[in-house]
A = this chain, B = another copy of it.
């Protein structure tokens, strides 16, 4: 895989240096440049995390130049996601002290528990001092906002997560993803894919991100039109909301 990433970077560099007219690449002056040495994309894992929250952004971010994706949990080893699939946490929290990008995925019961676990929230505060971007996907925003770092800052989260997010001092944004300084947060689950591509564009430019998008053939065509409460059947939305309420009632 390292070989294909190297090829990818070489190809995009060739395109960027070609003589065709330049398009409006949104270079981002405030983004700290990628280092020549390895840049760590650090993903926090915990029991019950949502797998797509992790894979959505990292499938894109893993194609940045000189990056390594590192998975971290309270204890290293296999961590079970919300659909039963297990991802390996290569490091424990105390082994990782910095990150270029920190990714905090969401979930439900496990996410509430993680947001109350000071060993996790204190670790996030430490890592955040070193990051170019600190990010969350879906209800990962509950954990990130529990650190106190997001007081008065704009954040996106799952449509169900608005109230809990606001109770932690952040400002809920209904956008698909939102940047507030170096804090980049997305709406529910699948929104992490959009956030990942937007981050690639911020860091390495529009054409780089477009190449990544083409590689992922990200030309979505949902077979139904039920991705938000605004478009879904109201009975389905109500039931889902009640289900989530019930699931977390004793741990909230």
Contacts and interface: CB of A to CB of B under 8 A. Distances in A.
A220 to B, nearest CB: 4
Contacts of A191: 217, 219, 221
Interface string A196-228: 011001000011011101111111111110111
A194 B218 contact: no
A98 B132 CA distance: 47
Interface stretch (A29-37, A78-86, A114-122): A78-86
A251 interface: no
A48 B1 CA distance: 7
Interface residues of A, number: 85
Contacts of A215: 188-189, 240
Contacts of A216: 52, 188-190, 227
A11 B4 CA distance: 45
Given A50-B59, A240-B11, A242-B11, A194 B220 contact: yes
Given A15-B236, A62-B83, A189-B217, A194 B223 contact: yes
Interface string A21-65: 001000000000000000000000000101110111011001100
A50 B18 CA distance: 30
Contact of A243 (B8, B219, B223): B8
A83 B108 contact: no
Contacts of A62: 82-85
Contacts of A85: 54-55, 58, 62, 69, 71, 87-88
Interface of A: 1, 3-4, 7-8, 11-12, 14-15, 18, 20, 23, 48, 50-52, 54-56, 58-59, 62-63, 68-69, 71, 78, 80, 82-88, 90, 108-109, 138, 158-159, 176, 187-191, 193-194, 197-198, 201, 206-207, 209-211, 213-224, 226-229, 231-233, 235-237, 239-240, 242-243, 246-247
Given A55-B55, A62-B85, A217-B227, 5 more contacts: A51-B59, A59-B83, A59-B189, A198-B223, A206-B224
